[in-house]
Structure 1
Amino acid sequence: MATHTENTADDVELNALAAGGRGHAVLPFQQRLPERGRDCHALIAELPTPVDGTAVRRRLDEAARQWGDSRTVELWETAVPASQDSPTARERLRKEALRPVRDDPFPVRAVLLRYTDGTAHLVLVTDRRRVGRTALGRLAKVALSGVGRAESVPFPVTDAVATPSAPWAPVDWGLGDPGRHGIVTGRRLALPRGAVSGRLLLGAVALTTARYRGEGTVEVGHLDTESGGTVALLRVGEIDEEQGPARLLALLDGTPPSPVGSELPAVGLVEFGADYHMYVAGLAPVFPLTVHCTERSDGTVEASAWFDEGMVSPHVAEMFCASVERLAALTAEEAGQSALTNVPLMTPQATAEVLRLGGADRRLGEGGRMDRRFEDVANRFPDAVALVDEDGELTYRQLNERADAVAAGLRNLGITPATRVGVCLDRGAPLVVALLGILKAGCAYVPMDFRYPADRLTYIVDDAQLPVVIGDAAQFPDIPDVRVIGLDELGKHGDLLEATEAERDASPDDAAYVIYTSGSTGRPKGVVVPHRNVTALLEATSTDFALGPDDVWTLFHSSAFDFSVWEIWGCLLTGGRLVVVSYWTARDTDEFHRLLAEQRVTVLNQTPSAFAQLVRADQSATAELSVRLLIFGGEPLDVQLLAPWFARHSPTWCRVVNMFGITETTVHVTAKTITPADVVAGSRSVGRALPGWSLSVRDTRGRVLPPGAAGEIHVGGAGVADGYLGRPELTAQRFVIDEETGERLYRSGDKGRLRPDGLLDHLGRLDNQVKIRGHRIELDEIRSVLAGDPAVTAAVVVVGQAPPGDAAGSRIDAYVVLDPDRARDTGTRQVLDNARRILPDYMIPSTLTEIDAVPLTANGKPDVPQLPPPAPAGSAVHGRLTEERTGAPSGGVGEEILGIWRQSLKTDVGRDDNFFELGGNSLLVVHVLTTMRERGLPRIGLRDFYANSTAGQFISLVEGVRDSAVPSGNGAPLA
């Protein structure tokens, strides 16, 4: 609250009047206040008895004449049917004091409230920018006693009305409800008497704001109630928490106020001295969260806060104010000696409550082994279909027997339990058989996509120390001392050896798989995940998602992408039927939609990027889908993507769930059911932690942050992986021990904020890692590969901005500085070809632009905004095209196709250009083919596109298909 009185018997504040008491435990008031009240202030004076209203009116008129105004001050008298100390009187006084003046030429409203006990209050309300606090106080003094001369008070009575205050800046950490904008709540701050000064309180406000914002530099608003209500900014420089409070206060003293820009900051301080009147510095919050402070003559400080619930939620405001109280009191006690980093933002009790909010108190039982759980399912449903691919079906009994044969074959090769075994197979039933067989042998599988470049495959084999890879020896690199064996050959030895004692004693703590993710050093890193993590994931989700033998799942994703872990084992460990989606079907959305309908798929897992294309196909499809559970993962979800889906599929029979997860925490961490209301609200929530998982948001020092404050997401609980294979230092950096609980946590590198209800908002990455089309990519790995080329002297890699709502438009843009001697005959095209030998397709830059030098900021970092517009990959010099576009058709099908390519790639296209070298990707291929069908052009298959990816070749293909089309019965060509 903003006001107080010094001479009343019960030391009543206006906020206490509003609540009918002076307690600090409850919010003193909550009321909808007009926004124009931000520019007004009020003064409340208790009149001496007996009350002479006529004398008060005469003195006000005399004051107006002395100020040179010919008008009289109208005094409104109101009889309140209650005594002054009654709730009725307090409520009436509160309403009168918080009612702003209109935009009248004369800027003061005077109201005399008379009570039944003979007492009265004079309430003066005015525009703070036209009448300062000193002038208002002197006017009250004249009105009450006639003492003093009004002409000595600067009181500009004009017909002009001051311009409105600047709008508020967004308060990201406030978590306010826009529907409650204008509803203001007041809360008194409990400060130790005599220990806290206004200056120290300002320091506590600045430090609290800095911690909520996660930045050392912070802006705090400041209102001068004397000089026309001028609002200024205090831009507090970098706060060094290794220093003590004295350094912070010196920093504040050395920060001169500066003018406010286009927006007022989230938090501000209003200071004023004590007098014998009650004073309200603002009839509504001047800032979204406004701290009012007054220093009394005895050195004590009284403070309170008002906040607009449309900008700051009551829960967040309560914790913010509690932090200000705590920081102010503790820094006062420390007398400037202890470092600020030792002053916690929250009490241990509040910290424990926030951890419980994130799920720290929810635990699961001991998880089991994946292979044993599968065997239990196979024993219960031996004749049920477990697996379907293009070549046929396998029952649970057949899948179990074939996996047993693989396990026996590994034993015959001398592979002992706990050995890591590579798998490099295309999607199909053999892939699933191999993975299950490796687990049954007591080993851990290391999946590799056979489309990876040879260099990457070789690196993974060496790093994981794989003695055996199940795959096609003709397609896999020849690596010394590594045996590449086909699944059929391995299965031939399946009856030679029985399971060893070590396999029978295998533990849920054993590693189940090692999946390699992008690494900032230029090489991927392997994440080791034990059996118990996967079975815990199923325990945490099976009941909620009602997973069971009636479900049909798809295996849509590469086994080298951890989303496949959820697809394969989520299905097979709950008795469902797994439909393997071939590589080409997964990339042809019409074919994929047809497969979903034909197989009556009930559980569908998608990255948002892939689903964006499926939605488009679904809108024109006639086949009905049976999907009851649609799960998103792999990358952030823009809920607007779901609008057309909900228009066709009711959420009452198809549940849509957004799940945030990380390879290092076993696929999924949270779950949030998305509704049409979330689409309208544009929700960024990824839900609450799964049972057995825990979430906390922490600052750079690992301290738990309260709800609303943004920081790094830390994950604990049942899903935390064992660490990085052969990387103890990196493991120690990312997998840390929580000092609060002793629990092992994974530092995700993701930015987020926890909400008061336990929901998590995902706010992107803190580092140089991105997710594009579901793939986790370290931009530094791409930069390292480019910079390692002998022709490159420097490289920068950034993410190009996608058009709103078009996930297919996200791309990787790279810039290189070339060595003029080495790159004379090669240029950027050769650099890109060299990168393809190391990086997988999804990490190849869509554009590669040569620049003279990397622009740098004052801190020596790449100045990304100063980079030129990207040029198509392999054909750029100094940010502009150098290859001439020749041979472009002048019209017809060829010109229409080139137009579609230009629209999709957002660049010029000639007949000699290759779609993928110009930045194309699998999603843009689907976009092109879909657009062609919508325009009535011949239907082209996905494989044919990839085989004819040069514009001239593709145009010839389309023309050939068109010319060879057989006329239908009505004379129209068949597409």
Structure 2
Amino acid sequence: IVKFDLTLLMEKTESGIEARLEYNSDLFDQQTIIRMVGHFQTLLAGIVANPQAQVSRLPLLTAAERQQLLVEWNNTDSDYPQDKCVHQLFERQVEKTPDQVAVVFNGEQLTYKELNQRANQLAHHLLSLGVEPEVLVGICVERSIEMVVGLLGILKAGGAYVALDSNYPAERLSYILADSGVEMLLTQQQLLSSLPSHTARVVCLDSDWRTIEQHTQDNLELGVGSDNLAYAIYTSGSTGQPKGVLVEHKNVVRLFAATQSWYHFNANDVWTNFHSIAFDFSVWEIWGALFYGGRLVIVPYWISRDPQSFYDLLCSENVTVLNQTPSAFRQLIQVEQSNNTQAQLNLRLVIFGGEALDLQSLKPWFEQYGDKSPQLVNMYGITETTVHVTYRPLTINDLNSNGSAIGCPIPDLQMYILDENLQPVPIGVTGQMYVGGAGVTRGYLNREQLNNERFIPNPFNRKQESRLYKTGDLARYLPNGDIEYKGRIDNQVKIRGFRIELGEIEAILGQHPAVGETLVVARKDQADQKHLVAYIVSEQEQELTSSQLRQFLKQKLPDYMIPSAFAFLKKLPLTPNGKIDRHALLELDTSNRPQEAGFVSHRNSFELQLSQIWCNLLNVHPVGVKDNFFDLGGHSLLAVRLMARIKQQFGTDLPLASLFTEPTIENQASLLVNATESQSYSPLVAINKVGNLPPFFCVHPVGGNVLCYAELAGYLGDNQPFYGLQSPGLFGESEPLTGIEDMASCYIEALQTIQPVGPYYLGGWSLGGIIAWEMAQQLSAAGEDVALLALIDSYSPVAIDRPEQVDEQMLASSLAKDLGSVFGTELSIAVEELKQGGLEEQLQHILREAKGLNILPPEIGIEQMRKLFGVFQANLMAMYRYQPQPYSGRIALFFARELEAEDRGWNELAVGGLETYRIPGDHYTMMRSPDVEILAKQLELLVRE
């Protein structure tokens, strides 16, 4: 047993100095130590040979390891057709399979011959308008067959396409059009009104087609070569502006030639074009299909955002080659796990790219399908080196690894992992990745200085034109030659496959007149998914809200670059060295957001439950019923999880499209009400279904609903299941119950569907405590164990003074006061105000006032108001009639500090004793922040005992 993890022992002997390494075998294997000894010997020899050298310049690698790293593991020279262009390889395939279906979209399809003919007509038209080699042509179209025709037409005319996503904000499109200097723009008639002002000549691929189709369908014979540009794709830039990457034909052609021996793409393959043409994964998808006679299925935008619909498309189209970011594939796995359909996938390859892969996320997939068919492959890649750089087939054994293995360089590329002095680092040591070879692109458009920084001469290749691309990614070589990805070295992140320069977002935020300092970071949420958080220091005396900043950014940045949360600080925290303390920022809780003007809280049980789901999913508190899901940081992947949670909670499928059209809790609740009206009534409201603790059942107060328990449930935490019990009669055709005993019996029957046997934890606020008392009595009489009865500021009926007269006016006035008090809003309507009309007029008056204060949602009508009144009346009168009996179980009474009578009249009935806890506030505020947090902490202690 060694005392230390690693110890170097040196001893002077007659034959010289002898050294010995002792090491912890749990941390190091023998081969690592042998390499370490070699590094030490090389270092000592270097010191002797060059004693004046800086330590950082001294060699570490043995000659054998240097040969392995620089030559053996990078011996990837590969022949490929260096004289061919992208469109020429497509034309070669047209000759082979002219009648094979080439492209499919929404029921429309073209054969290879038909696609080639249309692209030729467009190319001749563009040629007549002045397009030639090295001319950049913009293309901004929706997903369609015209999109593929447009790309091919530009290439055939000799031009290079500049990819513009029609969903980008106008300001970003405007910048790309201006920076690229395109003189021609291909688009569609319906997009013209949404395009920014520009000077390019417009060709509409739909409305101008009659003119275009007058040209010949023959292939063009031009002088375009493989060294000419094929496309420019803009990626995020740290200066606040995106930068265009220039990619030549040969870069693309050699990518497929170098990988075909692995993948064997063929005419039987069916591919999806899932990604935007502004994302370079689309280059792999489109030409991977069309170079080899495959069928390309263009995925409609809405289907690409809905994993269930996309899964169905994969099955119905018999897709064989699927390319996905790991984030998107996780959603497909969830669909697969919850799917009841008999549809079968036909995949033979699943290729990952775009972001780091969490191997553990693949466990459910491997358990279902194994690791042979389909074959899963991880490919690290960068736009600047043409889509893909490495190749790593995945097996079920990879689940035993905690790292992110990205494999080896693909043939014709070299991968060097170097230190700050451009020297190779030893095996197992982290350094920065540099990529060389035929995939390295021309560089950035109009960014000479950046080109000199990122595209550098290759010190390991004597060819004058050989360059390396400095990736900014960290990695290390493993002993078997695999490369393990270790993250970014700079301020760049990848989220859901999109490469994002945090500095670009910071620069745009800094343009807002009210923003002083800002810092944007990527944080992981509870599901271990990355999201963006912006920390803002505003200028003095400037009012600033998240909504204002979100709207400001939406005008300038695509949705995936909008932070999901904004934290407003007086100043950014600094380290003792004066640098921004990022660790301190990550420890700040960004889930709590201040309520902004127009905030409306939940107003019925559906909105309450949805609020809890949104809060947990988005990690944002509080959430208003009129808040926009996407403005709170939601995105398409989270939208899928949201719909799954709704299905789990309510047993109802809501269409995903409904969230994109009206992304509010108010709208979702309305859809759920309509969907569940015909279903059988249950008083149970699952405010929080999850958690390992025994569930807590909390009975409604006199108003009948359980909205008042939202904050209490939230403060009890995600591990505490919390069920409300609301009155029959609020929804559907059921009538209110009129006796406390009947209510207790009904609620016991409901809660036992969740928890058939005790011990039970019961409670209730106000009237809810009285009903819970009777429930405890009935359960005890049936031999069940009631571990806790929590009375939250509940008065025993024997201590309540019943008014001499209970008429409709008094009840209506009390109902109004109760509605307002529950929401922290004064809705005080005196009895005198209600004497002018009958009950219908009184309820109409209350309804108008409540809607005006956003206490009740707009769709609530007089019929629902009658139900509220009926429940309120039934509950109040039942309380007056109830005669509680002594109870011997454990009772905890939480009473409001501002009122006297600490026992609330329960002492004589609590024969087993009464524990009392004083809570700040009054009868109503104790159920709202900040007082309810004190209540929750004390209640949590009792439940956990």
TM above 0.5, one fold?
A: yes
Distance of 1:391 and 1:435 partners within structure 2? 21
Distance of 1:647 and 1:478 partners within structure 2? 50
Cα deviations by residue, 1:675-700 (Å, 9 ceiling, x for unpaired): 11111333421111111111110011
Bigger drift between 315-324 and 706-715 goes to 315-324
Distance of 1:689 and 1:698 partners within structure 2? 15
Which residue of 456, 479, 483 maps to 1:760? 483
Distance of 1:784 and 1:291 partners within structure 2? 50
Relative to structure 1, the CA distance from residue 966 to residue 839 in structure 2 (aligned partners, 3 Å threshold; closer, same or farther) is farther
- Residue identity opposite 1:650 in structure 2: G
Q: Is the 8 A contact 1:427 1:580 kept in 2?
A: yes
Cα deviations by residue, 1:663-722 (Å, 9 ceiling, x for unpaired): 111111111111111113334211111111111100112111121110001111121111
Counterparts of 1:282-681 in structure 2 under 5 Å? 286-288=4-6, 290-296=7-13, 300-307=16-23, 310-334=26-50, 336-346=51-61, 350-367=65-82, 368-472=84-188, 473-494=191-212, 504-621=222-339, 622=341, 623-681=343-401
- 1:422 alignment partner, SS class: strand
Distance of 1:524 and 1:305 partners within structure 2? 51
- 2:71 alignment partner, SS class: helix
Relative to structure 1, the CA distance from residue 411 to residue 932 in structure 2 (aligned partners, 3 Å threshold; closer, same or farther) is same
Q: Is the 8 A contact 1:405 1:493 kept in 2?
A: no
Distance of 2:119 and 2:673 partners within structure 1? 48
Which residue of 745, 753, 756 maps to 2:468? 745
Shift of 1:590: 1.0
Relative to structure 1, the CA distance from residue 496 to residue 427 in structure 2 (aligned partners, 3 Å threshold; closer, same or farther) is closer
Distance of 1:868 and 1:648 partners within structure 2? 37
Distance of 2:55 and 2:588 partners within structure 1? 45
- Residue identity opposite 1:640 in structure 2: Q
- Residue identity opposite 1:717 in structure 2: G
1:783 equivalent in structure 2: 506
1:122 equivalent in structure 2: none
Distance of 1:872 and 1:425 partners within structure 2? 38
Distance of 2:79 and 2:24 partners within structure 1? 41
Shift of 1:400: 0.7
Shift of 1:341: 4.0
Relative to structure 1, the CA distance from residue 507 to residue 438 in structure 2 (aligned partners, 3 Å threshold; closer, same or farther) is same
- 1:611 alignment partner, SS class: helix
Shift of 1:297: 7.1
Distance of 2:57 and 2:485 partners within structure 1? 28
- Return the structure number with greater helix share: 2
Bigger drift between 366-375 and 481-490 goes to 481-490
Q: Is the 8 A contact 1:658 1:672 kept in 2?
A: yes
Counterparts of 1:268-283 in structure 2 under 5 Å? none
Q: CA RMSD in A?
A: 2.6
- 2:206 alignment partner, SS class: helix
Cα deviations by residue, 1:610-645 (Å, 9 ceiling, x for unpaired): 111110101122311111111111000101111111
Counterparts of 1:788-937 in structure 2 under 5 Å? 788-803=511-526, 806=527, 809-821=529-541, 823-824=542-543, 826-867=544-585, 876=593, 886-891=600-605, 893-907=606-620, 908-937=622-651
Shift of 1:501: 12
Relative to structure 1, the CA distance from residue 588 to residue 342 in structure 2 (aligned partners, 3 Å threshold; closer, same or farther) is closer
- Residue identity opposite 2:392 in structure 1: K
Q: Is the 8 A contact 1:796 1:862 kept in 2?
A: no
Counterparts of 1:176-191 in structure 2 under 5 Å? none
Q: Is the 8 A contact 1:847 1:870 kept in 2?
A: no
Counterparts of 1:224-239 in structure 2 under 5 Å? none
Distance of 2:81 and 2:112 partners within structure 1? 25
Distance of 1:295 and 1:725 partners within structure 2? 62
Q: Is the 8 A contact 1:405 1:491 kept in 2?
A: no
Distance of 1:888 and 1:546 partners within structure 2? 56
Counterparts of 1:940-955 in structure 2 under 5 Å? 940-955=654-669
1:9 equivalent in structure 2: none
- 2:74 alignment partner, SS class: coil
Distance of 2:586 and 2:21 partners within structure 1? 48
Cα deviations by residue, 1:904-930 (Å, 9 ceiling, x for unpaired): 112222212221222211111111112
Bigger drift between 659-668 and 474-483 goes to 474-483
Distance of 1:493 and 1:888 partners within structure 2? 57
- 1:379 alignment partner, SS class: helix
1:89 equivalent in structure 2: none
Shift of 1:477: 2.8
Q: Is the 8 A contact 2:133 2:228 kept in 1?
A: no
Shift of 1:499: 11
- Residue identity opposite 2:475 in structure 1: G
- 1:474 alignment partner, SS class: helix
Q: Is the 8 A contact 1:848 1:871 kept in 2?
A: no
Q: Is the 8 A contact 2:137 2:160 kept in 1?
A: yes
Q: Is the 8 A contact 1:470 1:487 kept in 2?
A: yes
- Residue identity opposite 2:617 in structure 1: S
Relative to structure 1, the CA distance from residue 320 to residue 502 in structure 2 (aligned partners, 3 Å threshold; closer, same or farther) is farther
Distance of 1:659 and 1:555 partners within structure 2? 18
Relative to structure 1, the CA distance from residue 331 to residue 433 in structure 2 (aligned partners, 3 Å threshold; closer, same or farther) is same
- 2:192 alignment partner, SS class: coil
Distance of 1:526 and 1:500 partners within structure 2? 32
Relative to structure 1, the CA distance from residue 884 to residue 862 in structure 2 (aligned partners, 3 Å threshold; closer, same or farther) is farther
Cα deviations by residue, 1:357-385 (Å, 9 ceiling, x for unpaired): 43244333343211000000111000001
Distance of 2:581 and 2:373 partners within structure 1? 49
- Residue identity opposite 2:302 in structure 1: W
2:691 equivalent in structure 1: none
- 1:338 alignment partner, SS class: coil
Distance of 1:429 and 1:776 partners within structure 2? 27
Shift of 1:740: 2.4
Distance of 1:790 and 1:895 partners within structure 2? 37
Shift of 1:392: 1.0
Distance of 1:886 and 1:834 partners within structure 2? 23
When normalised by structure 1's length, the TM-score is 0.66
When normalised by structure 2's length, the TM-score is 0.68
Relative to structure 1, the CA distance from residue 965 to residue 372 in structure 2 (aligned partners, 3 Å threshold; closer, same or farther) is farther
Q: Is the 8 A contact 1:795 1:816 kept in 2?
A: yes
Where relative contact order (Cα < 8 A, 6+ residues apart) is larger, the structure is 1
- Residue identity opposite 2:656 in structure 1: L
Distance of 1:311 and 1:554 partners within structure 2? 45
- Residue identity opposite 1:905 in structure 2: L
Relative to structure 1, the CA distance from residue 817 to residue 574 in structure 2 (aligned partners, 3 Å threshold; closer, same or farther) is same
